[in-house]
Amino acid sequence: MLISAASDDELDHDEQRWLDSHLDGCAGCRSHADAVASLNRSVRVRSAGFEPDFVARVMDRSRPARLGRGGWLRPALAWCGVLIAAQSVRPLVFGEIDGTPAHIARHVGASGLALAIGLLYAAWRPHRAFGLLPFVGALLATTILSALLDTLSGQRSALAEMVHLAEVVGLVLLWMVAGSPGSERVHSMWRTIRHHGGVARPTS
């Protein structure tokens, strides 16, 4: 057991000194220790195999930021973040939003400010945009659902719900900065539909 622990550098000074002393006088344990060390080296130090498609597979999974011609996407995304942050100050600080109880208003303001910070961070570090997409997408999807329910129930007008326009635009810009994930699949399906005369057929 000490030999195995020594191969993983898990022994303290006293244990290592005792083991070294024992190995000096025990040929069987010394032979076993040499075998363990050899196996450890062969497992940990291996030559890298040649994989011709390695770079292509890594690049397919990566999502480098896209900033648009002239880099216009970053300032546009930052502007959305600033606008959403400004809209969130009143409910968060003063607890006021269309007669809603202060507790609920502050929750709404906190969510809006969190979204604004996420968009501003993505504008500052665009390579992080892809990682923020799940959070921003889920938050916006639930917000739009609640706005739709409020509109259908007559509690809010469609015009009043236009306040969420900046959030929708922000999500679209974030998606574009993240490299428009999923767009390739949509384009491929569209090409298939057009190629087969409007009927999508499974491809082999």
Whether residue 91 is found in the same domain as residue 130: yes
Residue 196 lies in a domain: no
> 60 lies in a domain?
no
Q: What value does the mean pLDDT of the chain take? A: 81
Give the confidence band of 81 by pLDDT, cuts at 50, 70, 90: very high
pLDDT tens column, 92-129 = 888 887 777 888 889 889 999 999 999 999 999 998 88
pLDDT for 204:
45
Name the residue with tokens 């979204």: 115
Mean pLDDT value across residues 140-146: 87
Could you tell me if 20 and 113 lie in one domain? Answer: no
Q: How many domains does the structure of the chain reveal?
A: 2
Q: Are residues 123 and 178 in the same domain?
A: yes
Question: How far apart, in Å, are the Cα atoms of 25 and each of 7, 19, 22, 84?
Answer: 19, 10, 6, 75
Pair (79, 132) in one structural domain:
yes
C-alpha dihedral, 65 to 69 to 74 to 78, nearest 10°: -150
Within 8 A by CB and 6+ apart from 80, the residues are: 119, 166, 167, 169, 170, 173
Tell me which of 54-68, 75-89, 156-170 is least confident: 54-68
At 46-75, the pLDDT tens digits run 556 667 776 666 666 666 788 888 889 999
Clarify whether residues 84 and 177 are in a common domain.
Answer: yes
- Model confidence band, residue 40 (pLDDT cutoffs 50, 70, 90): confident
Q: Round to whole Å and give the CA distance between 138 and 63.
A: 20
Q: Same domain, yes or no, for 33 and 87? A: no
Q: What is the pLDDT of residue 108?
A: 86
177 and 83 share a domain?
A: yes
Instruction: Determine the Cα–Cα distance for residues 136 and 119; give it in Å rounded to an integer.
Output: 9
Assess if residue 126 is contained within a domain: yes
* Residue 83 counted as domain residue: yes
- Cβ pair 178, 127 in contact under 8 A: no
Where in the sequence is the domain holding 103, given as residue range(s)?
68-187
- Residue 46's pLDDT is 58
The answer as to whether 195 is a domain residue is no
Is residue 45 in some structural domain?
no
Do 103 and 21 have their domain in common? no
* 57 within a domain of the structure (yes/no): no
Both 143 and 81 in one domain: the answer is: yes
- One domain for residues 7 and 108: no
| Cα-to-chain-centroid distance, residue 125 | 13
